């Protein structure tokens, strides 16, 4: 049975116990959320690692890696996977499109304890290119064979573009213009396949066949956002909204079949539209977990898109988004390096924490580091920092010892100057 079906039957599982221990949530509440589909559990089966995502749980961060057609290095991708895990990512997406995709995927799975996701369309279209020299000649059965093969390998969740059907394609055609066009690789190739073959999307037309495979392996369905906005000016356009409506309908069908499901979101979105985006998704989907890709709040931050994304991610999380896909400094510019992966994860983790401070009212670490700063307790400051090693490295490069003020203010250090005059009391109801 899937974790959702177990919850519906009142059966407490190892996965649920793992999530309960790592989150501040009661057994009965978690069981209810899982049964309703507002919480899902991802599972790395080889390493027995579980990650809960959804209502009442901390916001999670995904790191994406993968080869391109112009840069293929298996060892580098494995190192990126390890870097993402060491940097604090909760999940990983393996999105390779170049090289032997089976070997790359299996090597990544072997070398990380994180739950791993994929976009199976990438492999199906690549194999069609290799065999027929043309992606639009892909046999539809190849999609389902690829999905089953990847599930059997131990893939925990899959971004699948079932909401991109003839209805949403018609909205895109009638709209006729987008500043950024299409930015989803899977979405673009699928649209070309549909138009050239004059066919409905098999992932929509045969949705129940898809669900049977995913249910067999308890692989989580991530309803992909193939028409997501690649420019802030394209946010909330009719094509995106049509696909979101269909994805929310499909999420209900998936849950009725006992399949765990999440819904993907934008892309690029202006800062004043983020709250509406999250609330619309949550209402239309019946509170299915929301996986946002960034989102980026401006289009001009090339080289600094991890910052633009952190702003959007923090706001999205605060309004109720559950899962952030990181963005690296290389976004829009090139394939990310190991350093880019580390920076992207840290930026997204900060965004997730900022959101949880509002959404879940969790600020204990902030209180602790603030008191440590007041008391000039540098070791505690390092301990409560989101990246203790990096914080300590900066401190030691600019100061001698760990007592007294730092070189920022020196003798003009405000806490040092006035602490003899005051005895700070902990506010009532706050933890010391």
Q: pLDDT by residue (tens digit) across 35-82?
A: 999 999 999 998 989 999 999 999 999 999 999 999 999 999 999 999
Same domain, 134 and 169: yes
CA distance 388 to 356: 20
- Determine which helix (DSSP H) or strand (DSSP E) holds 158, and give its type and residue range: strand 157-160
Asked if 112 and 87 touch (Cβ cutoff 8 Å), the reply is no
Q: Is 49 helix (H, G, I), strand (E, B) or coil?
A: strand
Same domain, 330 and 393: no
Tell me, yes or no, whether 319 lies in a domain.
Answer: yes
Q: What is the pLDDT of residues 169-218, one digit of tens each?
A: 999 999 878 999 999 999 999 999 999 999 999 999 999 999 999 999 99
Q: Which residues contact 352 (CB under 8 A, 6 or more apart)?
A: 58, 59, 60, 61, 313, 314, 317, 324
- Spatial CA neighbour of 158 closest among 147, 142, 173: 147
Domain extent for 405? 364-421
Same domain, 172 and 244: yes
Q: What is the pLDDT of residues 327-339, one digit of tens each?
A: 999 999 999 999 9
Asked if 90 and 65 touch (Cβ cutoff 8 Å), the reply is no
With tokens 């580098």, the residue in question is 76
Same domain, 163 and 277: yes
Same domain, 149 and 265: yes
Q: Is 317 helix (H, G, I), strand (E, B) or coil?
A: helix
Same domain, 411 and 302: no
Same domain, 391 and 342: no
Domain boundary among 359, 390, 406: 359
Tell me, yes or no, whether 1 lies in a domain.
Answer: no
Same domain, 94 and 112: yes
């Amino acid at each position: 049975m899937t974790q959702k079906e177990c919850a519906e039957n009142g059966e407490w599982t190892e996965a649920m116990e793992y999530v309960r221990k790592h989150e501040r949530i009661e057994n009965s509440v978690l069981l209810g959320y899982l049964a309703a589909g507002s919480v899902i559990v991802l599972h790395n089966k080889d390493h027995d690692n579980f990650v809960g995502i959804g209502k009442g749980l901390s916001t999670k961060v995904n790191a994406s890696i993968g080869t391109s057609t112009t840069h293929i290095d298996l060892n580098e991708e494995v190192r990126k996977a390890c870097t993402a895990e060491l940097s604090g990512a909760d999940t990983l997406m393996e999105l390779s499109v170049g090289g032997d995709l089976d070997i790359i995927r299996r090597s990544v799975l072997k070398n990380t304890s994180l739950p791993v996701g994929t976009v199976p369309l990438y492999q199906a279209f690549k194999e069609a290119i290799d065999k027929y020299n043309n992606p639009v000649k892909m046999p539809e059965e190849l999609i389902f064979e690829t999905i089953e093969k990847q599930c059997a390998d131990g893939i925990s969740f899959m971004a699948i573009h079932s909401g991109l059907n003839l209805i949403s394609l018609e909205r895109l055609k009638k709209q006729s213009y987008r500043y950024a066009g299409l930015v989803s690789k899977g979405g673009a190739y699928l649209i070309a396949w549909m138009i050239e073959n004059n066919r409905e999307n098999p992932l929509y037309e045969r949705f129940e066949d898809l669900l049977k495979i995913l249910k067999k392996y308890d692989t989580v369905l991530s309803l992909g956002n193939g028409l997501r906005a690649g420019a802030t000016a394209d946010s909330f356009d009719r094509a995106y909204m049509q696909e979101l409506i269909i994805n929310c309908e499909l999420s209900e069908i998936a849950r009725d079949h006992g399949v765990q499901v999440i819904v993907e979101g934008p892309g690029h979105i202006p800062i004043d539209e983020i709250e509406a985006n999250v609330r619309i998704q949550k209402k239309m989907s019946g509170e299915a977990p929301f996986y946002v890709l960034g989102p980026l709040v401006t289009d001009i931050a090339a080289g600094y898109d991890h910052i633009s994304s952190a702003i959007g991610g923090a706001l999205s999380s605060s309004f109720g988004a559950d899962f952030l896909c990181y963005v690296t400094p290389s976004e829009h510019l090139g394939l990310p390096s190991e350093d880019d992966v580390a920076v992207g994860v840290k930026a997204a983790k900060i965004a997730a924490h900022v959101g949880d401070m509002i959404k879940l009212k969790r600020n204990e670490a902030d209180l602790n580091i603030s008191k440590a700063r007041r008391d000039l307790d540098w070791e505690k400051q390092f301990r409560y920092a989101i990246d203790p090693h990096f914080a300590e490295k900066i401190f030691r490069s600019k100061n001698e010892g760990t007592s007294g003020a730092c070189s920022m203010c020196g003798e003009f250090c405000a806490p040092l100057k006035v602490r003899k005059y005051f005895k700070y009391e902990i506010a009532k109801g706050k933890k010391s």
